[in-house]
Amino acid sequence: MSSLKKIIILLTLLISILFLVYKEDIPYEGIEILTHYMFGDGSDLHLESSYFLQSPLILKVLKKMKTGETRKVLFRQEEDWRLSYAINGFQITKKANGFSIVQHIKFDTTGKVYTIINTPLGKINFFDNWVHIKKCNPFWVKFDYTQP
């Protein structure tokens, strides 16, 4: 990949994040996951997120689950934009006093898979393979919540 193309890809990523920040709906979870993938060592990421506790999609899924049940969750981005910037295709386990989420993070390299970034100027298709401007390290993202 040429240096110019790498710079354009990186600028596109930064501009997309800035648009989300401008909307004041900062997707902290997605930014943390992307950063860990690109610059981390492949170790598990134990995510902290107050948003996961109020995500309409997560709450809807949990209502349909029994205690002790584990489900794989796939959803359309428009069902929960912020959650989609972090995880999609995750496993959720409902506990008696909380829940846990896990997902293996490994971005596609084929150039066929993308995430739609919903900006004030319109939607931008951000292809997974664009983050591979350097060697990235797949990892497991984990989230655990126990009610106090």
**And the tokens for 132?**
């591979």
CB 67 within 8 A of CB 92: no
How many C-beta atoms surround the C-beta of residue 100 within 10 A? 15
pLDDT digits (tens, 9 = 90+) for 41-96: 999 999 999 999 999 999 999 999 999 999 999 999 999 999 999 999 999 999 99
CB 83 within 8 A of CB 141: no
Among 5-9, 25-29, 52-56, 57-61, the least confident range: 5-9
> How many structural domains does the chain have?
1
In whole angstroms, give the CA distance from residue 74 to residue 129.
20
What's residue 94's pLDDT? Answer: 98
Domain residues for 83?
3-146
Closest CA to 15 of 117, 108, 111: 117
In whole angstroms, give the CA distance from residue 5 to residue 30.
23
| DSSP H/E element including 37 | helix 28-39
